[in-house]
Amino acid sequence: MESQRRWYAQQGEKAEATALLASAGQSAADKPRPGRKAPGKKPLDEYTMAEREQIAFWMNTVAEWREFRQGTGKAADLDEDFVERLRARYPDLQVSRGTLYRKWQAVRADDWDALVDNRGKARKGQSSIHPAAWDIFCGLYLTQRQLSAERCLELTEEWALQNRPEALPLPSVQTFQRGVRALPPEVVFYAREGPRKWWAKYSPYISRRYDEIESNAIWVGDTYTMDIVTRTESGQLHRMYLSAWVDARSGIFVGWGMSDGTKSQNSVNALRDACERQGTLPLMNLYNDNGREYLTFDFGGLGHRAKKTTANGEPKFQPLTIMERMEVKMVNAIPKNSRAKIVERSFRALKDRLMRLFPTFTGGSPQEKPEDLKAILKSGRQVPTDAEARDILDKLIQYDLNYSKYDGPVVADKGKRKIDVYNENCVREKVPADPGVLQLMLMRSTRPLKVGRAGIVTIINGVPMKFWNEEIRHYMDQKVYIRYDPADLSSVRMYAADTDQYLMTVGRSPLEASYGEDPEVLKELLKVQRHSARSIQKAVQVLRAAGREVSPMELALDIAARNAAGPVAKKNIRQTEIMYDRETATAPPLPMAVGDPGDLDIARMNRNFMTWMEGDTDDGEDF
């Protein structure tokens, strides 16, 4: 104790303060203060960036202060001097000797909470808004009507006046807006914008591993409204449609076609173009959306729209689809899910790289429309025709867009040309398609038709058509369907509707003429008509006279005469012998139902009958 007293006397206040700080720090480290979490329990990364900056500031400041106190002089004077220096360096900082001592204790105890400025956080999470009023406000604000916060506050205040006066007065609109900002953003967005927009912006999605896909394994298809204005042959201005198939691995356009409408035949033509350009059929899948240009009964099937039976309960007619004949599977994307189709991003590259080169570029939205477009369209000098646009775009897509740099999801292929990525990943041998076989695969089909006197009558692309030949009479009144190539309607292939068996190829009906037709043409048509009648007449005669030397009517008369004198007549006579005996010429006596025959009084029976006929309804005893 004496040595300690002498040491205190030598060191003075400096040593005393140091000892007090050490003892205080030790006690703080051993026993945390009530109401506070044990120091060191909360990880440093759970603090905000601003809070971590405060912790770092005080740790550096305390270390600097401890080093400053090693100088000569009294500890109290050194501490005051350091505080003055600290205030001069940070004018907005409120600091004192006690502040330094407390921060030193916190540093020794690893108590990060004590180094953070917690002023104003005591009421964090609390609100001055009445809970009932907040519920009403949220119910009004979180709707797809998208009412403003000011309007919702007005309606909430009106509700409170009538139902909950104790909730008044309501806080300002800024208070309610802060409450809304505290809600999860995606919840507010879902409530005010709707599930579809939420799905596109906030919903999680599954990313595909494109590096595992081969070239030609999956082709993705879609139809795109071209962002340029062209002129038809009649001079009308319009925007054509581009139906295209894109290789999922490389992103190149494997096949495409341009038309003036969105029809399923455009997708079939683009698929035919892809098979011819690449010299192969798709190896696995065709991936596209749920549009009618793909989900038709003869292309990819009706999908989720298919019905097993008709309205009268009969099985639904379903021929082999084009996809089934090609032995590939059609996969349909989730509606409103543009991420699932790489062709959507390919169309964006098509617009930015090629469409902007045309003077009649319109853009995908009013914001993208050039200001000089109206003048260009009005003059008409720079507007390309449909044929010119097709010719230019065919070359640009094949030799410019497909040769551009790959920008897909596979990092290893970044910087390569798309066509090189396509060729490098053609690891499987291509499956070539013979032109004739390909034509049969891509033929369209009709619904069941009945063969009539005019042959097969149907409507293709809005045009009534007839197909007839002399052999088609063998299938009169039978249900068939036809497969046809829209590019060549000179003939169609006829199949049985129930067995899907190929029957014959039928050409266009020649039996058509207009008013005022050339007599020579009519003469030839009448020859065809008479020849058909003579062939039918000859076939009937052959059937009637087959294996017979007499006419059918003579044969029928002879059969009837023989039956009249033959076993049939005798059989009938034997049946009548029960009622009449030919040998005695009398009928056999009939058995009596009841009573003795001698008791019958015929005269009495006749009198009773006459009485009844005169209208006497009295049941007398005569009966």
Most confident of 71-75, 229-233, 280-284: 229-233
> What would the pLDDT profile of 65-105 be if each residue is shown by its tens digit?
888 888 888 888 888 888 898 888 888 888 888 888 888 88
Which of 34-38, 317-321, 378-382, 457-461 has the least mean pLDDT? 34-38
Which of 330-339, 373-382, 419-428, 588-597 has the least mean pLDDT? 588-597
Architecture of domain 210-424: 2-Layer Sandwich (3.30)
Residue 36 has pLDDT above 80, yes or no: no
Residue 11: band (very low, low, confident or very high) from pLDDT cuts 50, 70, 90: very low
| Cα angle for residues 249, 253, 259 (degrees, 5° grid) | 145
Q: Which pLDDT belongs to residue 208?
A: 77
Q: Which regions of 186-310 does DSSP assign to beta strands (E)? A: 218-225, 230-231, 237-238, 241-247, 253-259, 285-288
Q: Which pLDDT belongs to residue 613?
A: 66
Mean pLDDT computed over 323-329: 81
Cα separation of 176 and 238, whole Å? 51
Residues 186, 202 contacting (CB under 8 angstroms): yes
Among 1.10.1740.10, 2.60.40.1080, 1.50.10.10, 2.30.30.130, what is the CATH number of 446-507? 2.30.30.130
Residue 598 has pLDDT above 60, yes or no: no
Q: Which of 258, 271, 269 is nearest to 389 (CA)?
A: 258
Q: What is the DSSP letter of 309?
A: B
Q: Which of 459, 433, 486, 491 is nearest to 267 (CA)?
A: 486
Cα separation of 91 and 80, whole Å? 16
Residues 244, 221 contacting (CB under 8 angstroms): yes
Residue 41: band (very low, low, confident or very high) from pLDDT cuts 50, 70, 90: low
Residue 467 has pLDDT above 80, yes or no: yes
Phi, psi of 408 (to 5 degrees): -80, -170
Q: Which pLDDT belongs to residue 1?
A: 45
Rg of the chain over all Cα atoms, to the nearest angstrom: 50
Residue 454: band (very low, low, confident or very high) from pLDDT cuts 50, 70, 90: confident
Q: Which pLDDT belongs to residue 3?
A: 53
Residue 594 has pLDDT above 60, yes or no: no
Q: Provide the H-helix boundaries in 327-457.
A: 342-353, 373-379, 386-396, 418-424, 435-441
Residue 12 has pLDDT above 70, yes or no: no
Phi, psi of 188 (to 5 degrees): -65, -40
Q: Which pLDDT belongs to residue 209?
A: 82
> What would the pLDDT profile of 147-201 be if each residue is shown by its tens digit?
999 999 999 999 999 999 998 999 999 999 999 999 999 999 999 999 988 987 8
Q: Which pLDDT belongs to residue 585?
A: 53
Q: Which pLDDT belongs to residue 5?
A: 46
Which position has the higher pLDDT, 337 or 618? 337
Sign of the alpha-carbon torsion through 260, 264, 268, 271: positive
Q: Which pLDDT belongs to residue 4?
A: 47
Q: Which pLDDT belongs to residue 619?
A: 47
Q: Percent of the chain beyond pLDDT 70? A: 78
Q: What is the DSSP letter of 211?
A: G
Domain ranges of the chain: 2-115, 131-201, 210-424, 446-507, 548-623
Q: Which of 226, 229, 227, 224 is nearest to 385 (CA)?
A: 229
Q: Which pLDDT belongs to residue 299?
A: 79
Give 221's strand partners: 245
Instruction: Say how many C-beta atoms besides its own lie within 10 A of residue 164's C-beta.
Output: 15
Residue 139 has pLDDT above 80, yes or no: yes
Q: Match 């455009």 to its residue by tokens.
A: 266
Residue-by-residue DSSP string for 556-580: HHHHHHHHHSSHHHHHHHHHHTTT-
Residue 342: band (very low, low, confident or very high) from pLDDT cuts 50, 70, 90: low
Which position has the higher pLDDT, 32 or 234? 234
Mean pLDDT computed over 423-448: 82
Residue 377 has pLDDT above 90, yes or no: yes
CA 471 to chain centre: 45
Residue 207 has pLDDT above 80, yes or no: no
Q: Which pLDDT belongs to residue 33?
A: 45
- Top-tier CATH class for 131-201: mainly alpha
Residue 575: band (very low, low, confident or very high) from pLDDT cuts 50, 70, 90: very low
Cα separation of 294 and 330, whole Å? 9
Residue 25 has pLDDT above 50, yes or no: no
Q: Which of 132, 174, 133, 125 is nearest to 150 (CA)?
A: 174
Q: Which pLDDT belongs to residue 296?
A: 79
Average pLDDT, the chain: 79
Residues 246, 254 contacting (CB under 8 angstroms): yes
Mean pLDDT computed over 127-147: 91
Cα separation of 417 and 581, whole Å? 113
Which of 53-62, 238-247, 589-598 has the least mean pLDDT? 589-598
Residue-by-residue DSSP string for 494-517: EEETTT--EEEEEEB------TT-
Most confident of 99-113, 392-406, 435-449: 392-406
Q: Which pLDDT belongs to residue 163?
A: 92
